[in-house]
C-alpha cells in the first residue's frame, strides 16, 4: 500500500496535533499545507518540514495530494470539504462535521457524487479502546449484562478566556458543537451497536446557559432507539469526562471516555452482579488512527470508515442541530442567564 499524501487545511492548533499524530502513522505523510492566508501556511509548513504550501485552491488543485484534513472553524467545514471532494481528494473533517444537519447532508452528498471517502474526525472512535468498547457493548447485549438501556456522559472544560471562536456566535461557538458532540457521538454508537438502533436521536429535554451569546454549558436527554442518553457539556467549567452505560443487568464504566489528542483512553470497567472486571487496552495516537482509517477506505475504495459510518455522522448532526436550537433558540427548559 502506498503512503497517503496528506494536506492540512487550516494551520491552527488542532492541525498541529493532527500533524503530530500523522507522524506516528505508517500509512500516511504530511505533504502540503493550505490556508486562507498563505503566510500562515508557510509558517506551519516550515515548522513541520513540509515544502509545499499555499492557499486552498493552490493545494486542492495539486495532483500529488491524496487526502486532506480540515482543521478550520466549524462554519467553514462544509465548503472546504465539498471543494476538496470535487477536486478528487479524500476528506478527514474535524468534528463536528458542520453546525447543521442541512450542511452535513450537503457534504455527504458531495462525497457520494465524487466517489471519495469522507470521515468525521471523532478521535474517540478510532484505535484499540474504541474497538474494545464496541465489542464489549455488543457482547453485553447478548450476554450477562443485557442490552444497554441508559447512558450518562459528560465533556466540559473551563476556557481560559471568553473570546475567540469558542465564544463567537458567528463562528458557531459554544459547548454543544465543540465538545457536546462527543457524548452524543458515544450515545449514537452505543444505541447502534447495543440495540441495533436505526433511528436518529429524539430530543426529550434540554437546558443551557448562554455566555457571550453562545451556549456556555448545556444538558440534554435524548431517546435513541430506546436508549435514554443524559448528556452534559460546558466550556465554562470542568466536567468529569466520564461515561456510564447502564445495561439491563449491570453497567459499563468509562472513567476517561474521550482520551486526549495525543493518547487514546485505556480503561473499561464492566460491572455485573457477579463482580467487576477491569479491561486495560493499549493506547495509540488517535489522530494518526483517524488518518489511517481514511487511508484504508481509499485503498479499499470505500466511502466510509466502519468506525465512523455516515449514518452516525447524520444522526449526530441531527441531534446537535436540535439540541442547539433548544438552547440557543429558547426551546425546552432553556435558562439563558449569562
Torsion of CA 205, 180, 281, 13, to 10 degrees: 180
Q: Note if the bond before 96 is cis, omega within 30 degrees.
A: yes
Q: Give the residue numbers marked as catalytic.
A: 95
Condensed to tens digits (0 to 9), the pLDDT of residues 222-233 reads: 999 999 999 999
Every domain of the chain and the residues it spans = 4-124, 125-289+316-328
CB 219 within 8 A of CB 234: no
pLDDT digits (tens, 9 = 90+) for 87-97: 999 999 999 99
Q: How much is the pTM?
A: 0.95
Closest CA to 183 of 100, 254, 285: 254
Whether pLDDT at 293 is above 90: yes
When pLDDT is averaged across residues 168-174 and rounded to a whole number, the result is: 97
Q: Are 183 and 242 in contact (CB under 8 A)?
A: no
Buried b (16+ CB within 10 A) or exposed e, 89-111: bbbbbbbbbbbbbebbbbbbebb
CA angle 103, 155, 117 (to 5 degrees): 35
Give the rounded percent of residues in the chain with a pLDDT score beyond 70: 97
Residue 329: pLDDT band (50, 70, 90) is confident
CATH superfamily of domain region 125-289+316-328:
Dihydrodipicolinate Reductase; domain 2 (3.30.360.10)
Q: Could you report the per-residue pLDDT of 79-116, keeping only the tens digit for each?
A: 999 999 999 999 999 999 999 999 999 999 999 999 99
- CATH code of the region 4-124: 3.40.50.720
Amino acid at each position: 500500500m502506498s503512503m497517503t499524501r496528506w494536506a492540512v487545511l487550516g494551520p491552527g492548533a488542532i492541525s498541529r496535533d493532527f500533524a503530530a499524530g500523522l507522524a506516528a502513522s505508517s500509512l500516511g505523510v504530511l505533504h502540503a499545507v493550505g490556508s486562507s492566508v498563505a503566510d500562515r501556511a508557510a509558517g506551519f509548513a516550515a515548522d513541520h518540514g513540509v515544502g509545499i504550501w499555499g492557499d486552498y485552491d493552490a493545494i486542492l488543485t495539486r495532483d500529488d495530494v491524496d487526502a486532506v484534513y480540515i482543521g478550520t472553524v466549524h462554519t467553514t467545514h462544509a465548503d472546504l470539504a465539498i471543494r476538496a471532494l470535487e477536486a478528487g481528494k479524500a476528506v478527514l473533517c474535524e468534528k463536528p462535521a458542520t453546525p447543521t444537519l442541512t450542511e452535513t447532508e450537503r457534504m455527504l452528498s458531495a462525497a457520494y457524487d465524487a466517489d471519495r471517502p469522507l470521515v468525521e474526525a471523532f478521535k474517540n472512535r478510532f484505535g484499540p479502546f474504541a474497538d474494545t468498547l464496541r465489542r464489549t457493548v455488543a457482547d453485553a447485549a447478548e450476554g450477562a449484562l443485557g442490552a444497554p438501556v441508559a447512558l450518562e456522559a459528560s465533556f466540559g472544560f473551563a476556557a481560559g478566556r471568553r473570546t475567540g471562536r469558542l465564544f463567537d456566535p458567528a463562528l458557531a461557538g459554544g459547548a454543544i458543537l465543540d465538545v457536546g458532540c462527543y457524548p452524543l457521538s458515544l450515545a449514537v454508537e452505543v444505541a447502534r451497536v447495543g440495540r441495533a438502533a436505526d433511528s436518529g436521536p429524539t430530543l426529550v429535554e434540554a437546558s443551557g446557559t448562554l455566555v457571550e451569546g453562545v451556549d456556555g454549558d448545556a444538558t440534554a436527554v435524548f431517546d435513541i432507539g430506546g436508549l435514554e442518553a443524559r448528556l452534559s457539556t460546558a466550556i465554562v467549567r470542568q466536567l468529569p469526562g466520564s461515561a456510564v452505560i447502564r445495561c439491563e443487568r449491570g453497567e459499563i464504566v468509562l472513567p476517561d471516555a474521550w482520551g486526549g489528542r495525543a493518547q487514546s483512553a485505556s480503561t473499561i470497567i464492566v460491572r455485573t452482579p457477579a463482580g467487576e472486571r477491569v479491561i486495560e487496552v493499549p493506547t495509540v495516537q488517535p489522530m494518526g488512527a483517524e488518518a489511517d482509517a481514511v487511508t484504508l477506505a481509499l485503498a479499499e475504495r470505500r466511502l466510509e470508515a466502519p468506525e465512523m459510518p455516515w449514518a452516525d455522522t447524520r444522526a449526530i448532526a441531527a441531534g446537535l442541530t436540535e439540541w442547539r436550537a433548544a438552547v440557543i433558540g429558547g426551546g425546552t427548559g432553556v435558562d439563558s442567564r449569562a
